[in-house]
Amino acid sequence: MNIFVGDDHTETAGTQLYQAALNCSLLSVDHTATFPLVSTNLKAGAAVLQSGGGGISFPYVNGNVELYAYGFTVAPQTGAAYGVGDVRTGRMKLEKFTIGPTTGFPNLGGQAGADGSYLELKDCTIALGGWGNNNFPSTRGGTTKLENVTFTTTASGGSVMPVFSGGGALTILEGCDFSALNTAAIGRSNIPLLGSSPNSNWLVKDCVLGVGMIAVSNMNWNTQIDLNRVDTGTAYIRNERWNMLGTLITSTSVVRTGGAVDGTTPVSHQIATSSSNTFIGTSFYALPLAIWNAVIGSNRNVTLYGIANDSRLPTNAEVWFDCEYLGSSTSLKASYVRGAPVVLATPTALTADTSAWDSTATARANTTAYVLGAVIKTASNVGRVFFCTTAGTSAGSEPGGYASAVDGGSVTDGTATFRAGCRFSQTLTLSSPQPQQPGYLYVYPKFGRASTTYYLDPLIKLS
């Protein structure tokens, strides 16, 4: 069934509106068109406003039905919460909606706990009219997907509030534009995309974030946030993962010579594990990597390279990877080789490596204040990078200890201390079984030591 609403129509409500009890479409159309209506008669503009102090829910689905809605403007008239796409069960798709400008906050999706619901917003605009408490949207229920949604705001200043808060089972932001939410427009030093302790899993893919926008202001155990091919106007693509066990961000300051290149920019994955990280049960799983393998019926060596801010080589209980590949000639069931030691077995040190990691690092400077974790290189020890382990001011000339430093060795530099990074690699041999079909090899890097920083080259080497 199709329900037509004229594009010149405006109504107010204080409760659920247009509750669907069967599969139907709710369409804003040109009010001057004559029946029968066709696709060219679709015209955005019909408006639903909040009345009174209560919130509205529009459209509203509470049953195993599907609803499609096109072209509506939804906005509150007070600061109360209101629902857009309130789907308790069933599925709903909203297209060409304009949400806001708002002094309240829209709940996108169903009630908390409505895990079977699905809401999709496509080609919509969400206008934030305020920048403070209760002015940001919240996703709820099961799965919520925003595709090609543009965010705008007329507000500035205010407290540090996120763009989103809360979350259902899964929230997907794909092809969305947050560029208007930037530090210059908002007047703040950082803008969290997600709020304090958001629930659920979030995938942010092929989006543009505003300058100064960070992934999240706080985490909890129920959350994982992945940024996949995200742009902030830099020369490189941001790929990130955030959860309670650690963070992975794209780095351009510590990269392996001959390693991964994002277009023309060398990159690495910077992993910082949290104090909760352990080898058994709570290891940080980095973003998966993939490479095509066309060689079958022969052993294949799969190698990853990295560098650690550590005094020694990491063990295979601290850094390792698993490899998934096609080891059967008759089935697509995966075969695995795993790089970690068996539980209760004695870990072994990874292989020492001599790759250069200093091509983009900042050169050491005399009489300069360095903060903890700062990374430098020196002309006297090419290939190595040095991590600041004690903040302080460097000496007036380069200490001789830099030239003779080996991986893991420390150098006193004025009131600061620097340590040469430990370079490592791990190789897994796919031999039992050997690859039996051409296809992608998937590599899953994992980290099992707490409170340590690593840089991983995401370029897989096959031999």
φ, ψ for residue 74, nearest 5 deg: -125, 125
Contact 384, 377 (CB under 8 A): yes
Compute the distance between CA of residue 49 and CA of residue 70 in angstroms, rounded to an integer: 16
Q: Checking DSSP bridges between strand 57-61 and strand 2-6, what pairing results, if any?
A: unpaired
Residue 255 covered by a domain: no
Residue 224 covered by a domain: no
Residue 25 covered by a domain: yes
Residue 127 covered by a domain: yes
Q: What is the pLDDT of residue 160?
A: 56
Residue 332 covered by a domain: no
Q: What letter does residue 184 receive in the DSSP assignment?
A: H
3-state SS, 102-150, equals ECCCEEEECCCCCCCCEEEEECCEEEECCCCCCCCCEEECCEEEEECCE
Helix, strand, coil share of the chain (percent; to 5)? 0, 45, 50
Q: Which helix (H) or strand (E) holds 183?
A: helix 183-186
- Residue 45's CB is within 10 A of a number of other CB atoms, namely 19
Residue 258 covered by a domain: no
Specify the residue for token string 């022969």. Answer: 298
Farthest-apart Cα atoms in the chain, separation = 87
* CB proximity list for 351: less than 8 A, separation 6 or greater: 424, 425, 426, 427
Per the structure, the count of domains in the chain is: 2
Q: What is the pLDDT of residue 78?
A: 63
Residue 241 covered by a domain: no
Contact 283, 273 (CB under 8 A): no
Last residue of a domain, one of 178, 213, 238: 178
Compute the distance between CA of residue 277 and CA of residue 302 in angstroms, rounded to an integer: 26
Run means of pLDDT, 10 residues per run, the chain, 463 residues: 94 74 91 96 93 73 88 78 80 93 71 73 86 62 92 68 76 94 76 74 94 83 91 85 95 97 94 93 95 98 98 98 98 98 95 98 98 98 98 98 98 98 98 98 98 98 98
Give the residues across from 151 on adjacent strands. Answer: 126
Question: At residue 189, what is the residue type?
Answer: S
Compute the distance between CA of residue 139 and CA of residue 341 in angstroms, rounded to an integer: 40
Q: What is the pLDDT of residue 29?
A: 98
Give the residues across from 271 on adjacent strands. Answer: 248, 454
- Tokens standing for 400? 């001789």
Q: What is the pLDDT of residue 205?
A: 97
Q: What is the pLDDT of residue 53?
A: 57
Residue 183 falls in which region: left (phi positive, over 0), alpha (psi -120 to 50) or beta: alpha
Is the model's pTM score more than 0.75?
Answer: yes
Residue 69 covered by a domain: yes
Domain, as residue range, for 138:
2-154+164-178
Q: What is the pLDDT of residue 291?
A: 98
Give the closest residue to 132 by CA, choosing from 178, 79, 180, 179.
Answer: 79
Contact 206, 175 (CB under 8 A): yes
Q: What is the pLDDT of residue 133?
A: 47
